[in-house]
């Protein structure tokens, strides 16, 4: 298959490049508008009870939990001043009624919680027209610049304004990350390849992948909700993976030409070896990313769609457009060299070969130390505390965060923070006033409740809002929600609980229900793919276990940094004391897939050497020698765009960037350098064992890479004395 692909690509190389250029133009022109079609946030499930409560309240009541919270502060007037009151109420009254469906303020309600303690500030809650987050954001943008009052400081916050600010900040941060990454990556690629032409090719593949993924996401956004956060994954992952794949393809092509192959022969051998491995790697990563689509959250589904698009497009361009460019360039791929190039053909022996043998001399000790280190790093994971995203993910200069902190520190209560019981009654609400009052009284008497009151009664619907102290996304608030749910409802009524606490509780419950299926899916699919790559029944299991250890260590470090606040000054963020629960799910799928990426690249060479030599020790040492420099270079290059995200002003993106860099560093050092050679030595020939039927299956469908070159002299079949006893 890959040999035929190589012949086709070389034969039609100029046509392939012309079509690639056309694709880039069309995809870029269409995909550039993707941000306008995306939705903010996306961390809630559509079928969650809290979402149902919000939709019912949207239809039944003009007054409900506000979508926007506008704070007005005066330096010399208090809320008791008539001029303060008139200025604010006139401004709100002038807003278009088809955009603002309802509002609540201190003067019309008399609610003391709506005035600050020093009485120099108040906030107005606005309900925005729209059936979903995107529509509400559109409504907000229509009035965003019409909310200011002369003489008063106006600060815009609440769910919709904060979500809009997060989206704008993500777009800005992505531009910054790209601006920082491209020049740094180009310099590093020049160092790796020694020439300007070869260094530019992986970056071109990355650019094509990003443009194509943007177009795919915009197309998907016409049929389903796509979270704005998906663009962060598309930009960073598309660039990182494309450079990985481009690095391996270009390196292999240069290796083939140095061995004397030219034209179609060089392209065919490149795709039949490195190309086949890139294909398996891309499919493996895409399969892992697909696991996020099992969850009923727009955020995770969007990350799944965007990640799959970025990886598969990177793979396709690396297998078609890149070989076509190499076919046109030929030996000119080495043009514009800045210094004498090192040989592209792996040499005999060398640093990586000696390192692998050094590790394999004491495999038990190395394995024990490496696993102990990973477990120590994973220890903080035992103290993980989940919490939903709020305005604290924004920088201090963001208005949404300023409003959030003002409500927490300057006011006695946050009127926007309530648990809302939306009731479907058995009959008209007018005839059940006593039952509703009794229900509100029962809720008011629940431990932890500050106040419970009827906030709406229309037709057969009613709403009771509960205010409480403490954080909305905490264990205590979830326990309060459980107590509220346990209270008897009015006869024949059905209660739907909404609000931030209910949404947070629904998220954790949904994640917990789907997580076991995600883990099973990843384990089974990865095991099958790795068996086809290695032809072993034990090595896939080894890879999965090592990945779980590495992931646990990564999450432990993230808890230590982002939950406990270590290094917060260096990284520039304020710790929230918890971890948003969607992020570990996304990181798990992404890191698991990318770890298998390097596993495939390394062990495919080891498998080929084992088939030729029959000596597991020599095969590992030779495989590490032939891939060590490339894998290390690929890991370093992948870390560059991810590290750029660590400078993001949005906490969610900062956690993503730091988590990915930590995972890649752990994988490229402790796992790839220490654990793989050590465990392969302990397994010996058993590591490559498979029963007869599975051996036949592997012989027919397995991924086998062969360069047709003899093994290094040092890698000739070794005797047991070549590697000292297991001590």
CA–CA separation, 653 and 174 (whole Å): 10
- Assign 624 a pLDDT band (cuts: 50, 70, 90): confident
Q: How far apart are CA 537 and CA 692, in angstroms?
A: 12
Q: How confident is the model at residue 96 (pLDDT cuts 50, 70, 90)?
A: very high
- Sheet order of strands, 461-468 included: 449-458, 461-468, 418-424, 494-498
Evaluate whether 623 touches 677 at the Cβ level (below 8 Å). no
Which residue has better confidence, 180 or 86? 86
* pLDDT recorded at residue 726: 40
Q: What's the pLDDT score for residue 703?
A: 62
State the Cα–Cα distance between residues 287 and 597, nearest whole angstrom: 12
* Res 92: pLDDT: 92
**348, pLDDT greater than 70:** no
- Phi and psi, residue 301, nearest 5°: -60, -40
Confidence of residue 15 (pLDDT cuts 50, 70, 90): very high
Q: What is the pLDDT of residues 293-332, one digit of tens each?
A: 998 888 889 989 999 999 999 999 999 999 999 989 888 8
Residue 349 clears pLDDT 70, i.e. is over it: no
- If we measure between CA atoms, which residue out of 289, 294, 306, 180 comes closest to residue 233? 306
Please give the structure tokens belonging to residue 275: 């190309």
Buried b (16+ CB within 10 A) or exposed e, 435-472: bbeebbeebeeeeebeebebbbbeeebbbbbbbbeebb
d(CA 254, CA 337): 13
Q: What pLDDT, on a 0 to 100 scale, did the predictor assign at position 711?
A: 43
Which residues, 6+ apart, have CB-to-CB distance to 129 below 8 Å? 98, 99, 100, 101, 135, 136, 139
Q: Examine the pLDDT at 693 and tell me if it is beyond 60.
A: yes
The larger pLDDT score, comparing residue 62 to residue 31, is at 31
Mean pLDDT of 546-564: 92
Distance CA 392, CA 165 (A): 12
484-496 confidence digits (pLDDT tens): 999 999 999 999 9
Looking at every residue in the chain, the average pLDDT score rounds to: 84
Confidence of residue 710 (pLDDT cuts 50, 70, 90): very low
Q: How much of the chain exceeds pLDDT 70, in percent?
A: 93
Say what the pLDDT of residue 219 is: 92
> 135 versus 727: which is more confidently predicted?
135
Could you tell me the CA-to-CA distances from 31 to 24, 41, 165, 179 in Å, in that order?
A: 10, 20, 21, 19
Judge whether residue 714 has pLDDT over 80. Answer: no
Q: What is the pTM of this model?
A: 0.81
Q: What is the pLDDT of residue 721?
A: 37
Distance (Å, rounded) from C-alpha 151 to C-alpha 72?
10
pLDDT above 90 covers a percentage of the chain that reads: 29
What is residue 724's predicted lDDT score, i.e. its pLDDT?
A: 38
- CA–CA separation, 643 and 524 (whole Å): 31
Decide if pLDDT at 66 tops 70. yes
Task: Identify which has the larger pLDDT, 175 or 531.
Answer: 531
Q: Look at the block and give the residue holding tokens 């071109």.
A: 204
Q: What is the pLDDT of residue 127?
A: 87
Q: What is the pLDDT of residues 233-290, one digit of tens each?
A: 788 788 888 888 888 888 888 888 888 888 888 898 888 888 888 888 888 889 989 9
Query: What does the pLDDT read at residue 20?
Result: 93
pLDDT for the residue 365? 93
Q: Is residue 1 over pLDDT 70? A: yes
284 contacts 597 by C-beta, under 8 angstroms = yes
List C-alpha distances in Å: 717 to 359, 363, 612, 615. Answer: 18, 19, 10, 5
pLDDT of amino acid 424: 92
């Amino acid at each position: 298959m890959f040999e035929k692909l190589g012949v086709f690509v070389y034969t039609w190389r100029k046509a392939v490049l012309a079509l690639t250029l056309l694709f880039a133009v069309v995809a870029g022109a269409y995909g550039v508008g993707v941000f306008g079609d995306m939705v903010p946030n996306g961390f809630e499930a559509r079928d969650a009870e809290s979402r149902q409560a919000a939709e019912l309240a949207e239809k039944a009541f003009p007054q409900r939990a506000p979508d926007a919270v506008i704070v007005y502060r005066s330096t010399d007037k208090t809320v008791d001043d008539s001029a303060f009151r008139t200025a604010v109420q006139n401004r709100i009254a002038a807003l278009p009624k088809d955009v603002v469906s309802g509002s609540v303020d201190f003067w019309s309600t008399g609610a003391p919680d709506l005035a600050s303690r020093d009485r120099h500030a108040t906030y107005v809650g606005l309900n925005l027209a729209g059936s979903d987050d995107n529509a509400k954001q559109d409504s907000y943008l229509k009035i965003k610049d019409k909310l200011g009052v002369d003489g008063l400081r106006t600060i815009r916050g609440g769910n919709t304004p904060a979500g809009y600010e997060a989206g704008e900040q993500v777009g800005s941060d992505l531009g910054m990350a790209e601006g920082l990454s491209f020049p740094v990556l180009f310099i590093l690629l020049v160092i790796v390849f020694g020439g300007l032409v070869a260094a530019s090719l992986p970056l071109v593949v990355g650019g094509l992948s990003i443009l194509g993924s943007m177009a795919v996401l915009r197309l998907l956004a016409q049929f389903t909700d796509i979270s704005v956060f998906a663009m962060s994954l598309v930009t960073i992952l598309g660039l990182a993976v494309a450079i990985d794949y481009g690095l391996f393809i270009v390196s292999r092509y240069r290796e083939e030409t140095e061995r004397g192959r030219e034209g179609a022969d060089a392209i065919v051998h490149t795709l039949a070896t490195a190309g086949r491995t890139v294909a398996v790697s891309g499919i493996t990563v895409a399969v892992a990313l697909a696991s996020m689509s099992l969850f009923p959250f727009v955020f995770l589904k969007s990350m799944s769609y965007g990640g799959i698009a970025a990886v598969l497009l990177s793979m396709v361009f690396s297998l078609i457009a890149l070989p076509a460019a190499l076919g046109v360039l030929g030996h000119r791929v080495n043009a514009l060299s800045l210094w004498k190039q090192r040989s592209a053909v792996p040499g005999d022996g060398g640093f990586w070969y000696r390192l692998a043998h050094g590790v394999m001399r004491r495999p038990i000790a190395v394995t024990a130390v490496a696993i102990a280190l990973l477990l120590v790093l994973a220890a903080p994971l035992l103290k993980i505390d989940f919490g939903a995203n709020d305005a604290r993910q924004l920088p201090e200069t963001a208005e949404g965060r300023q409003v959030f902190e003002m409500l927490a520190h300057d006011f006695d209560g946050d009127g926007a923070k309530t648990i809302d019981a939306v009731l479907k009654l058995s009959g008209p609400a007018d005839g059940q006033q006593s039952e509703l009052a009794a229900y509100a009284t029962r809720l008011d008497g629940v431990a932890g409740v500050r106040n419970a009151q009827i906030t709406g009664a229309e037709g057969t619907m009613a709403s009771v809002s509960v205010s409480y102290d403490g954080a909305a996304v905490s264990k205590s608030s979830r326990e309060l929600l459980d107590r509220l749910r346990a209270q008897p409802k009015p006869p024949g009524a059905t209660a739907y609980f909404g609000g931030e606490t209910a949404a947070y509780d629904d998220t954790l419950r949904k994640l917990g229900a789907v997580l076991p299926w995600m883990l099973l899916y990843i384990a089974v699919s990865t095991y099958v793919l790795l068996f086809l790559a290695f032809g072993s029944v034990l090595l896939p299991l080894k890879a999965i276990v090592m990945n779980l250890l590495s992931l646990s260590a990564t999450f432990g470090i993230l808890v230590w940094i982002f939950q406990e606040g270590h290094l917060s000054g260096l990284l520039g963020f304020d710790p929230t004391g918890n971890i948003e629960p969607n992020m570990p799910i996304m990181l798990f799928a992404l890191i698991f897939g990318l770890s298998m990426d390097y596993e495939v690249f390394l062990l495919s060479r080891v498998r080929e050497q084992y088939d030729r030599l029959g000596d597991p020790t020599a095969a590992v040492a030779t495989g590490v020698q032939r891939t060590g420099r490339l894998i290390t270079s690929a890991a370093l290059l992948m870390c560059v765009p991810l590290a750029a995200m660590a400078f993001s002003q949005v906490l969610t993106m900062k956690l993503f960037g730091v988590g990915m860099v930590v995972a890649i560093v752990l994988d490229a050092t402790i796992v790839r350098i220490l654990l793989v050679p050590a465990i392969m030595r302990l397994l010996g020939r058993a590591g490559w064992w498979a029963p007869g039927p599975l051996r036949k299956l592997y012989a027919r469908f397995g991924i086998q890479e062969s360069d047709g070159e003899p093994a290094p002299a040092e890698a000739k079949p070794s005797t047991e004395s070549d590697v000292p006893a297991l001590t």
